[in-house]
């Protein structure tokens, strides 16, 4: 925003010349870094493998079709497990995430100095570890099976639900809260009348959205032994039974489509 | 009944919003508080029910010193002070009845309010007030489905359901059109008369203040610079409150009132009806 010109026509530029130069230099630097990265990656790539990639992919695909459809009868139970892992894991996460969210939101936390940092740490810790890794840890702690899957999903989801929920809590309209407080309501009543109705749409949206994500995540948990359809996938791939793997892929695709549709309907109905 | 003495508020930023306000509001008096933006009008009424904590001075409601109350006693005292807000401040996603009954929260325990099991007397009273403000058919509508004027009626009804001694009214008409503004002001003043309530009404619109209040207090830079009847509000007074401006068209003269067809029609309608009967058409339909 440098202006100048003196007596003649007044000129205007977005930036001062020095800043202009700096911006151009920044772009140049970015370009050079990109080119250098490309060179390093190219050096360590075995190009023979890349060149025949289309051939390999075609080969794999030809082994996958036709899918072995009768195999699907053995998949219904694992699929049911998968859906249960996602649903129960989400419910467990919600139960734990709601208090964490209220402790983390700066306008509802009991103590900004003590409680809020702890709540924020829980959120970060939960979010920083992928549910597959949680599952890996839990399988070695409580053994393989559906329970490990449920807890893995729950631990990963706490952070997600709590973070989005506490952001929603911080964005509420304070006038409505003030109005309820002004009637002489107690703290619990201010919470349930002034704050909860305002965050209900966000809460419902977040929960359903997370359930939707968890359906997808729970399909792979079986890869590390945490139950569900992923166990079958693991077994099929390790025995090179590609026609079975393709049945599983199609089933997962169908499940995700259904869950997407269900969550869209629920969100529509609630909000 | 309400007595402020040396009331001061200094915000953490250093702004002195109130600089020693002394004010006495007797029972049943409707008082308008005027003044430029930033004069401390909102801070003043929020210091009374301590949505904002005053830094110094005293606030007495009847025999009760409000500034020294603990959390529990403050909640009990707040029941006696109904508040009405500029942007209505209804809980948007709750129904009209739930918003009304939230005026009873100070009297009802947590679990009863959680399960919406309010005492039958409260519900009967809520219906009566809803009738009075002309919104009976909206009882189960969600607050965000109402128009501005209707919402403000719900806000008024919520405050009345507290069974207060005084109304604290913060810019009740600032978000409303001129006609609805007059209806809302008239409703507030009528209700105060019916129930013998005192009221402090923050208001920007000088003409509205003159039309509806019996006493006007002018606030400037956190100090009371005028306190008197609406008729004495001269151009000089307005200049002390707001600063230099051409006030000749703002001040209401007695003869002008008759020329306003809207004011004349409503005035006769109400005088004929004796104690003001709720005119549903006027109250609910057109807003």
Distance CA B139, CA B92 (A): 14
For A127, how many CA atoms within 13 A lie in the half-sphere containing its CB? 14
- Average pLDDT for A140-153: 91
- DSSP bridge pairs for B5: B58
- Average pLDDT for B114-143: 92
- Position B89 scores a pLDDT of 92
What CATH number corresponds to the domain at position A96? 1.10.3720.10
B223, two tokens: 């100090």
Query: Could you tell me if residue A204 is inside a domain?
Result: yes
- Average pLDDT for B195-205: 92
DSSP for A126-153 reads: HHHS-HHHHHHHHHHHH-SSHHHHHHHH
Going across the sheet that includes B2-10, the strands are B16-25, B2-10, B56-61, B64-65
Over residues B82-103, the pLDDT tens digits come to 999 988 999 999 999 999 999 9
* Greater pLDDT, A29 or B248: A29
Residues of chain A contacting B155 with CB distance shorter than 8 Å = 179
Residue B286 confidence (pLDDT) above 80: no
- Average pLDDT for A163-183: 94
pLDDT band at B284 (very low <50, low <70, confident <90, very high): very low
Distance of CA A195 to the CA centre of its chain: 26
- Position B275 scores a pLDDT of 42
3-class DSSP assignment, residue B224:
strand
Query: Could you tell me if residue A210 is inside a domain?
Result: yes
Query: Could you tell me if residue A138 is inside a domain?
Result: yes
Q: Which residue of A has its CA nearest to B142?
A: A197
CB A163 within 8 A of CB A127: yes
Q: How many helices (H) and strands (E) does chain B have?
A: 12, 10
Domains and CATH numbers, chain B: 2-285 (3.40.50.300)
- R_g over Cα of chain B: 19
Q: For A228, list phi and psi in degrees, rounded to 5.
A: 90, -170
Number of domains chain A contains:
1
Could you tell me which of B15, B19, B12, B14 has the C-alpha nearest to residue B4? B19
Beta strand B64-65 with B223-228: parallel, antiparallel or unpaired?
A: unpaired
pLDDT band at B127 (very low <50, low <70, confident <90, very high): very high
Q: What share of chain A in percent tops pLDDT 90?
A: 51
Q: What angle do CA B127, B79, B134 make, to 5 degrees?
A: 25
Residues of chain B contacting A181 with CB distance shorter than 8 Å = 51, 78
CB B31 within 8 A of CB B198: yes
- Position A15 scores a pLDDT of 83
Q: For B172, list phi and psi in degrees, rounded to 5.
A: -70, -20
pLDDT band at A271 (very low <50, low <70, confident <90, very high): low
Query: Could you tell me if residue A234 is inside a domain?
Result: yes
Subunit contact B110:A197, Cβ cutoff 8 A = no
Of A188-197, A262-271, B258-267, give the range with the top mean pLDDT.
Answer: A188-197
* Greater pLDDT, B26 or B260: B26
- Average pLDDT for A60-89: 89
Q: What count of residues does chain A have?
A: 271
- Position B231 scores a pLDDT of 87
Tell whether A5 is within 8 A of chain B (Cβ).
no
Query: Could you tell me if residue A237 is inside a domain?
Result: yes
Subunit contact B51:A194, Cβ cutoff 8 A = no
- Domain span at residue A114 reads 75-270
- Average pLDDT for A186-205: 92
Mean pLDDT of chain A: 89
Residue A130 confidence (pLDDT) above 70: yes
pLDDT band at B266 (very low <50, low <70, confident <90, very high): very low
Over residues A229-268, the pLDDT tens digits come to 888 888 888 888 889 989 999 998 999 899 889 888 887 8
Contacts of A217 (CB under 8 A, 6+ apart): A86, A131, A132, A153, A156
- Average pLDDT for A52-76: 87
Subunit contact B83:A182, Cβ cutoff 8 A = yes
- Position B204 scores a pLDDT of 87
- Position A3 scores a pLDDT of 52
- Position B2 scores a pLDDT of 92
Residues of chain B contacting A176 with CB distance shorter than 8 Å = 89-92
- In chain A, the N- to C-terminal Cα span, in Å, equals 44
> How many residue pairs bridge chain A and chain B with CB atoms within 8 Å of each other?
82
Integer angstrom CA distances of residue B216 from B35, B46, B203, B224, B236: 10, 19, 10, 11, 15
Query: Could you tell me if residue A151 is inside a domain?
Result: yes
Subunit contact B103:A197, Cβ cutoff 8 A = no
Q: For B179, list phi and psi in degrees, rounded to 5.
A: -70, -50
- Position B272 scores a pLDDT of 40
Could you tell me which of A194, A230, A14 has the C-alpha nearest to residue A108? A194
Contacts of B55 (CB under 8 A, 6+ apart): B8, B9, B10
Tell whether A191 is within 8 A of chain B (Cβ).
no
Integer angstrom CA distances of residue B69 from B8, B57, B66, B214: 17, 14, 6, 31
Residue B252 confidence (pLDDT) above 80: no
Contacts of A262 (CB under 8 A, 6+ apart): none
- Average pLDDT for A85-89: 94
Closest approach of A168 to chain B, Cα-based (Å): 15
CB A207 within 8 A of CB A101: no
Tell whether A204 is within 8 A of chain B (Cβ).
no
Over residues B208-221, the pLDDT tens digits come to 999 999 999 999 99
Query: Could you tell me if residue A70 is inside a domain?
Result: no
Subunit contact A183:B85, Cβ cutoff 8 A = no
Q: Could you give the residue ranges of the DSSP H alpha helices within chain A?
A: 17-44, 47-51, 53-64, 76-104, 115-128, 131-142, 146-170, 174-182, 187-189, 196-221, 229-238, 242-270
Closest approach of A25 to chain B, Cα-based (Å): 42
Over residues B103-120, the pLDDT tens digits come to 999 999 999 999 999 999
Query: Could you tell me if residue A62 is inside a domain?
Result: no
Interface confidence, given as ipTM, is 0.82
Q: Which residue of A has its CA nearest to B116?
A: A193
pLDDT band at A7 (very low <50, low <70, confident <90, very high): low
Q: Which residue has the tokens 């890869």?
A: A223
Over residues B237-248, the pLDDT tens digits come to 888 888 877 777
Subunit contact A181:B162, Cβ cutoff 8 A = no
Residue B225 confidence (pLDDT) above 70: yes
Residues of chain A contacting B104 with CB distance shorter than 8 Å = 183
Residue A94 confidence (pLDDT) above 90: yes
CB A183 within 8 A of CB B78: yes
Residue B277 confidence (pLDDT) above 50: no
Q: What count of residues does chain B have?
A: 287
């Amino acid at each position: 925003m440098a202006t100048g010109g003196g007596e003649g026509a007044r000129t205007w530029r977005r930036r001062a010349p020095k800043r202009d130069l700096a911006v151009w230099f920044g772009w140049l630097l970015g370009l050079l870094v990109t080119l250098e990265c490309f060179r390093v990656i190219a050096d360590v790539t075995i190009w023979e493998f890349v060149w025949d990639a289309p051939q390999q992919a075609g080969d794999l695909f030809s082994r996958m079709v036709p899918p072995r459809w009768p195999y699907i009868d053995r998949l219904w139970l694992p699929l049911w497990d998968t859906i249960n892992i996602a649903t129960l894991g989400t419910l467990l996460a919600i139960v734990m995430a709601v208090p964490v969210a209220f402790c983390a939101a700066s306008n509802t936390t009991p103590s900004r100095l003590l409680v809020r940092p702890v709540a924020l740490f829980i959120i970060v810790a939960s979010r920083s570890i992928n549910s597959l890794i949680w599952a890996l840890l839990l399988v070695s702690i409580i053994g393989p099976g559906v329970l490990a899957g449920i807890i893995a999903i729950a631990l990963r989801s706490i952070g997600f639900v709590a973070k989005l929920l506490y952001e929603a809590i911080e964005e509420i309209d304070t006038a409505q809260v003030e109005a309820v407080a002004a009637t002489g309501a107690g703290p619990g009543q201010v919470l349930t009348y002034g704050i909860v109705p305002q965050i209900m749409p966000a809460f419902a949206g977040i929960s359903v959205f997370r359930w939707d994500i968890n359906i997808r995540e729970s399909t792979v948990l079986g890869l590390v032994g945490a139950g569900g359809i992923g166990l079958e996938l693991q077994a099929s791939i390790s025995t090179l039974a590609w026609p079975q793997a393709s049945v599983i892929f199609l089933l997962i695709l169908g499940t995700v489509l259904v869950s997407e549709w269900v969550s869209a309907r629920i969100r529509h109905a609630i909000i | 009944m309400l007595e402020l003495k040396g009331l001061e508020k200094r915000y953490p930023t250093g702004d002195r919003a109130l600089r020693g306000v002394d004010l006495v509001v007797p029972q049943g008096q409707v008082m308008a508080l005027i003044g430029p933006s930033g004069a401390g009008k909102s801070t003043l009424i929020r210091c009374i029910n301590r949505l904002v904590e005053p830094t110094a001075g005293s606030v007495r409601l009847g025999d009760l010193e409000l500034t020294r109350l603990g959390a529990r006693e403050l909640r009990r005292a707040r029941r006696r002070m109904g508040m009405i807000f500029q942007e209505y401040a209804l809980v948007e996603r709750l129904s009209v009845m739930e918003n009304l009954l939230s005026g009873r929260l100070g009297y009802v325990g947590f679990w009863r309010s959680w399960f919406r099991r309010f005492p039958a007397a409260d519900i009967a009273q809520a219906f009566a007030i809803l009738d009075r403000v002309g919104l009976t058919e909206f009882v189960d509508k969600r607050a965000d489905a109402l128009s501005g004027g209707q919402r403000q009626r719900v806000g008024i009804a919520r405050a009345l359901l507290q069974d207060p001694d005084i109304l604290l009214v913060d810019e009740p008409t600032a978000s409303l059109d001129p006609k609805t503004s007059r209806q809302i002001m008239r409703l507030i003043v009528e209700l105060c008369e019916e129930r013998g309530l005192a009221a402090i009404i923050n208001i920007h619109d000088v003409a509205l203040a003159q039309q509806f209040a019996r006493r006007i207090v002018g606030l400037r830079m956190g100090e009371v610079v005028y306190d008197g009847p609406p008729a004495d509000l001269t151009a000089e007074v307005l200049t002390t409150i707001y600063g230099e401006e051409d006030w000749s068209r703002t001040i209401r003269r007695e003869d002008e009132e008759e020329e306003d067809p809207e004011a004349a029609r409503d005035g006769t309608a109400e005088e004929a009806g004796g104690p003001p009967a709720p005119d549903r058409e006027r109250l609910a339909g057109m807003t």
